[in-house]
Amino acid sequence: TYVYLNGDWIAPEHAKVSVFDRGFLFADGIYEVVPVYQGRPFLAEHHLARLDRSLAALAIPNHGDPFWYGLIEQLLARNAISDGLIYFQVTRGAETQRSHLPLGTLTPTVFASVSPLAVHWGVPTPAKVTLCEDIRWLRCDIKSISLLGNIMLKQHAQAQGAMEPLLFRGDHITEGASSNYFAVKDGALYTAPTDHLILPGITRMWVIELARQLGLPVYEQPFRVSELTQLDELFLTSSSREVQPIGQIDDIMIGQGQCGKITEQLVQAFHESKR
Ligand code: PDD
């Protein structure tokens, strides 16, 4: 396999960055994950638009869409991957000493790789989530490589035997540590709005589109912690997990813990849209 680093195509073990890279010292950078199905990138234009917004928020220059599309093409040509995930990372660059504010104009460090992913075509087994207070910062809309809060929350969830933490601020459910959520109640879908408290997931956006095509009402309103015992169905969305049914929140079973009807409809619609 070959990875891309600052203009070179090299074996992963030869890909090295400076210890003065601001990604290493400060997590001063952003990333993006683009799914690939049957050798084709999925919803790439939306991922590249989000990459552009993340870079703009940090005032790191963007190489531009043609550059990224070229990288996608090269990654897929140089790595024999049919289904997988492309990873892009851009940091502000490396300098000669550690300084919170950059000392001069830097050349961003650009890294890209692709890894295989076993794409499932059936309905995934419902998983468990655990409710956790969202301890992250207030710019969760930026796809920052600073993921310490997310990792601590995921470690906690793992210790509880849960696939993912379900995060809340006050009475509002925000998202998962690497996923968005949809709650189903009385035939309608609810998900948190795309403000600074969540990452605007591309899978989330696509599921909203699919739900509207199916005639299902979608409300971009946060589901409330106090309403959690009343929901009919719950699922998570992300580029790696697509539509993941949830059967249990801590000790609360959702229905009988099985995949709900509307969730199943959306799992199927999502599979169809990948072809
Ligand atoms: N995670 N919310 C958070 C905090 C995320 O990290 C992610 C994605 C999502 C879902 O976004 P999308 O549908 O665009 O994948 C929501 C990626 C996959 C990751 O960290 O690897």
| Helix and strand numbers, DSSP H then E, in the chain | 6, 15
Measured in Å, residue 238 CA sits from the centre of ligand 1 at 5
Residue 275 scores a pLDDT above 90: no
Active site residue 128: no
As given in the structure block, the two tokens for residue 177 are 């540590």
For 95, other C-beta atoms within 10 Å of its C-beta total 16
- CA nearest ligand 1 atom 6, residue: 178
DSSP secondary structure letters along 2-50: -EEETTEEE-GGG----TTBHHHHH--EEEEEEEEETTEESSHHHHHHH
Q: Report how far apart, in Å, the C-alpha atoms of 23 and of each of 57, 79, 106, 146, 217 are.
A: 16, 26, 12, 9, 41
pLDDT in tens, 143-187: 999 999 999 999 999 999 999 999 999 999 999 999 999 999 999
Q: Which helix (H) or strand (E) holds 228?
A: none
Return the SS3 of 205: helix
Rounded to an integer, the average pLDDT of 39-66 is 98
Q: Is the CB of 60 under 6 A from ligand 1?
A: no
Tell me the average pLDDT across 55-79.
98
Q: What domains appear along the chain, each with residue ranges and CATH number?
A: 3-116 (3.30.470.10), 127-274 (3.20.10.10)
Give the pLDDT of residue 92. 98
d(CA 201, ligand 1 centre) in Å: 6
The candidate with the shortest Cα–Cα distance to 23, out of 106, 135, 113, 85, is 106
Q: Look at the block and give the residue holding tokens 């207030």.
A: 138
What is the rounded average pLDDT for all residues in the chain?
A: 97
Tell me if the pTM is above 0.95: yes
